[in-house]
Every structure is written in C-alpha cells, then in structure tokens.
Structure 1
Amino acid sequence: MTVSSLKNCPAPAKLNLFLHVTGQRSDGYHLLESAFQLIDHVDLLHFSLRDDAKIIRTNELAGVPAETDLVVRAARLLQVHTSSKLGAEITLDKKLPMGGGLGGGSSDAATTLIALNRLWETDLSRQQLMQLGLQLGADVPFFLFGQNAFAQGIGEKLTPLITPDCWYVVIEPGVSVPTQAIFSSKALTRNSSSIKVSDFQQYPKGNWRNDLQSVAIQLFPEILVAIDWLNKYGNARMTGSGSCVFCACSSEDAANEILKDIPGELQDWTAWKAKALNEHPLTNWLG
C-alpha cells in the first residue's frame, strides 16, 4: 500500500567528540579526523506526497530561503537522480540552532533523503544515498551512515565507532558561527597528526580537542565564556565549527545539576541535556 505522508521524522544533532584538521586539499577542502556522536536533540520533518513533481516547503525559516534550504535541495537532488515524477510538501519543525556546529542542516537533508526515498519508493541503498548526500555537504553522509563514526577525509570516510553511553550538557552561547569564517582563517591549525580509530577508544581519558575552537573563540569570545564555565564540570569543548559547547556527564542527574547551576545573568545562553544515541532513529528505513 502506497504511503501518502510521513510525519515526525527525526533529524538528530551530532557532537564532534574531537576534531583535528590534518591537511588541506588542492581544491581548498580541509582534511579532517573526528569522532561523530549522535544525540537525542532533534529537528522534526513532516512529508506529504504530491503527484505533480512540485517540492514545496510549507513554512518559513528566518534567514533560509526555500531555494537555498538543504532540505529542498536534497529533495530535488533525489528527484533528479531517480527521475521521479512525484513531489512533496515538507514542513520543518526547527529545534536545532543554526550556526551551532550540531550539523542540523546536514541532518535535515539526510532525513529528507531517507524519508523521500521511502515515500517515493525510489529504493536507493544506504550507500547510494550517502554518495548522493555528499553532493550536499561533507557531514550529510554521516547522518545517512546510521551510527556513530570515526570520520576521515573531508568527513565522508566513515568507520563504525563505539562511543560512551552517557549524557551531555550542551550550551548555545547566543552566537551563530559562519563555518566559512573559521575554515578561511589563517590562524587555523592545518597540520595535526593523524590518529587511528584504536587511539580514540581510550576516550574520554585522552586530552581530545577541537582544532577549530581556537579560531572560533578569537572571533566570538562568547564561546570561550561558555567553555570556561562548563569546564568546572568536565572537559568542555566546542563541537564542529561552533558555536555550541558541551561536556560529558556520568548520568542524567549529573546533567540536571549542571543545568541548575547556570547563572541567571547569562540570559543569552540556551542550554539543554542530551542522551548519547547508538544509531540514527531512522536507521531501519535505510537499506
């Protein structure tokens, strides 16, 4: 039986448990190594089938025209790639902050590919969707990979990774960081030593870092304020290109206690707790 709609499709956030920049390709793309961790803080997307091939985003998003939205671009890319004559109405319930380093836009695009591959019955495999997703951005294949991963290359070379079962406190310090400003900085470290997956398995004992953090805090001192405050409770650091910062907690109760301690005068902060996920919530929809 043909499905006419898919509601409440989650697009989870990710944390970079570490992020090293190991080089730069001749085309300008940076070579990275990172540990990607899925968490249970999500955007929700809703899809309704159309038979006229139109792709329509039904709601407005501040600062994101529909034509440039990764969700719309993902839908059109799948449509062209599969020669589908079907369309969709898409509503995005946006919870993840933009410019936060949580991969929200990439995750939204991945969930769009997963959901429309099912709704349109185009039957692409997980690997085919990952190859398609790479055209939209280097983080998109991870969210299609379906589980936590050790990433190499520009982020597209993925190895399954066992990560700690824990809670995190995440703070958005009231600023949005443009990724391009970080990667174009002359101050960015681009020669970190390469590591192996096995090197990371000692986490969280290792002194892991994010090479993008030092550049981000120069441009946005608000990030450093959040890191310094959160460092009282654990090894706090920035995720992705910022602005969100996080630290691991031993339990949900420990995370709750940290959230209670946030000073009232820091009104620009948005903070929440998040549970580590082992796999993408829609992994069963992937072939």
Structure 2
Amino acid sequence: MQVPPLTPPAHSLTLPAPAKLNLMLHIIGRRSDGYHQLQTLFQFLDYADELTFAPRTDGVIQLHSELTEVAHDSNLIVRAARQLQQASHCSQGADIWLTKRLPMGGGLGGGSSDAATTLLGLNHLWQLNWSEDQLANLGLSLGADVPVFVRGHAAFAEGVGEILTPVELSEPWFLVAIPQVSVSTAEVFADPQLTRDTPANKLRSLLEGGGRNDCQPVVQKRYPEVHNALILLNKFVPTRLTGTGACVFGSFPKQDDADKVARQLPATLPCFVAQGRNISMLHHKLKELLKKSR
C-alpha cells in the first residue's frame, strides 16, 4: 500500500462543495415504503466545504479529515468514491482531503454536497467521462439531495427530492444563523406531529407565494436552540428553517444589509453571510477546468 502524503501534492485537484438552502419545503404525502413525498425549492450558496483529490495507483480510497463524528468507511465521501470506483470498474484510487465549513446536521446539505463533489471530482481526475445523468443516478443511491448537487442548478424538487426542474430565482444575500445543535432528520420525519398532507402546488404558485417549511414547527418543538434563533433573527428579517435544520436564514437585497444584522447577533449564535446562486460554484469551477484542458 502507498504511504499517503500528509498534505495534498502539487498535482492535486481542489473543488468546492457548496451549501444549499431549502427556500420552502412542503410534505404532501408518505409512500408505502415510509419515504415522504416532498415539494421543495433548492438554491445554492457561495459558501462551501472544500475537497482536494490526488490519484493513487493502488486502488485505495483514503479520506484525510479532522472529523471524528463519522467513521471513515461510513463517510459519504468515501462511500461515493467507492461506489463510483466499483460502478466504473476503475482501478485507480484517491487521497481526499476535506476542509469542513458547513455544520453537520444544519440542513445545508453538507454531506450530500461532499458526496456530489466527490463524484464529479473523481470523474474528472480518473478521466471516466461519465455523464451528469449517470453521476446523478449513482448519487441518488447515496441520498435524495445528492442529485441536485451533481446537476448544479437551482431546482424545484418533487418525489423524495430526486425529480428536479431547473428554475431561475433571484440571487439575494442570505444571513444564515447556526444554532449550536445537530438536528436528526430521521427523528423529525418520524415525529407524529409532522404535517404530511400539505396540498401539492404548481411551481408557478410556489415561486410567487414562497411557501413554508413543514418541518419547522416540529424542529422548533424538539430543539429550543432553533426556536430561540428563529425568534431572535425574526426581529430583523422574516426567517425560515432550511431543510430539517438546524440552520435558519433570512434574505437581503444587499450584502451590507445582511452584514449589519450579522454584527448584531450574539457570539453564542454563529452565522455567515453568503449570496444565493442558481449555478453552483462547483460547476463554475469545473467549467474553468474544462476550458483549461482544451
């Protein structure tokens, strides 16, 4: 087995794994297999984890990360890499370094985004030439949110989140507050008080009306930290939960407006300001790489 380098070598590939927001999230039913039928609007942020990839010739997938909460082989990055390796019959391996910025259990899609960046990054590094459709289909087996990160376009999602319709949204600035708690998605979706019968809406009416997040009442009830953050941020701007949380967000037309409110939040409620993006910063980076390789 090769001895892995302690730091990424000069020929490595570094890519972002951006955050997403659920601008609304309606639960319209529950399938016989227990999965929930959703309607949601995804938009990306220009705020991201960072992954660096370097090829290995021995076929080993090795993740280098300071995270201790998730076992190496259970990490979605490692699982994504191994699934792509197996499905493509690729004999190469990879060292992967993770710089983690997105909070775990925050509703920003960090794990799914990391997995999607891994699929796209290794597809480029290993020169597999897999299509976006192939990578998105493989990603769905890792999690319902992975395909939207693979495709990299703001989208209206239906089904369990895998039926995607690209949308063009305004790109405001968002203040995202991070309550210091990790929310269990499984517990939220298992809660008997969760609304599961919101009437399905047409995309146009959701774009005009904004919708709501059906998970928010349950998360507020179960997690006082989220409840308190919503109350605090609502004093400045209409605030909503993203996904199953814990992060909450409000939108602003200008960065200065978001920064001004951010400075007024207590140190006990970490936050960041980022712009909404219809095209993922990952896809901008991959487009640049393709231009350079031609």
Q: TM exceeds 0.5?
A: yes
TM-score w.r.t. length of structure 2: 0.92
1:272 maps to 272
- Which of 20, 35, 51 aligns to 2:41? It is 35
How far apart in 1 are the matches of 2:282 and 2:72? 24
Structure 1 position 198, deviation (Å): 1.1
Structure 1 position 228, deviation (Å): 1.2
Q: 2:103 aligned with 1:97, yes or no?
A: yes
- Which of 16, 26, 35 aligns to 1:10? It is 16
* Percent identical: 45
How far apart in 2 are the matches of 1:119 and 1:143? 18
> Does the 8 Å contact 2:174/2:252 carry over to 1?
yes
1:223 maps to 226
Larger displacement relative to structure 2 (101-110 or 272-281): 272-281
> Does the 8 Å contact 2:154/2:166 carry over to 1?
yes
How far apart in 2 are the matches of 1:101 and 1:59? 21
- Deviation per CA, 1:74-99, whole angstroms, max 9, x where unpaired? 00000000000000000100000000
How far apart in 2 are the matches of 1:6 and 1:250? 37
What amino acid sits opposite 1:220 in the alignment?
Answer: Y
How far apart in 1 are the matches of 2:59 and 2:268? 42
1:239 maps to 242
How far apart in 1 are the matches of 2:269 and 2:223? 14
- Counterpart secondary structure, 1:282: helix
1:151-230 equivalences in 2 (<5 Å): 151-202=157-208, 206=209, 208-230=211-233
- Counterpart secondary structure, 1:229: helix
> Does the 8 Å contact 2:29/2:37 carry over to 1?
yes
Q: What's the Cα RMSD here?
A: 1.6
What amino acid sits opposite 2:223 in the alignment?
Answer: F
> Does the 8 Å contact 2:18/2:282 carry over to 1?
no
How far apart in 2 are the matches of 1:26 and 1:139? 20
> Does the 8 Å contact 1:32/1:154 carry over to 2?
yes
Structure 1 position 41, deviation (Å): 1.1
Structure 1 position 39, deviation (Å): 0.3
- Counterpart secondary structure, 1:276: strand
What amino acid sits opposite 1:161 in the alignment?
Answer: V
How far apart in 1 are the matches of 2:206 and 2:32? 28
How far apart in 2 are the matches of 1:232 and 1:207? 20
2:85 maps to 79
2:253 maps to 250
- Which of 145, 148, 152 aligns to 1:146? It is 152
Give the unaligned 5+ runs of structure 1.
Answer: none
> Does the 8 Å contact 1:5/1:49 carry over to 2?
no
- Deviation per CA, 1:18-67, whole angstroms, max 9, x where unpaired? 00001111111111100001001100000000011000012231211111
How far apart in 2 are the matches of 1:104 and 1:246? 16
> Does the 8 Å contact 1:13/1:107 carry over to 2?
yes
Compared with structure 1, are the counterparts of its residues 195 and 6 closer, same or farther at alpha carbon in structure 2 (3 Å cutoff)? farther
How far apart in 2 are the matches of 1:283 and 1:56? 24
Q: 2:42 aligned with 1:64, yes or no?
A: no
Structure 1 position 222, deviation (Å): 1.1
What amino acid sits opposite 1:269 in the alignment?
Answer: L
- Counterpart secondary structure, 1:228: helix
How far apart in 2 are the matches of 1:73 and 1:197? 34
How far apart in 2 are the matches of 1:133 and 1:73? 10
How far apart in 2 are the matches of 1:268 and 1:139? 29
How far apart in 2 are the matches of 1:195 and 1:6? 45
How far apart in 2 are the matches of 1:187 and 1:238? 17
How far apart in 1 are the matches of 2:64 and 2:210? 45
How far apart in 2 are the matches of 1:71 and 1:119? 15
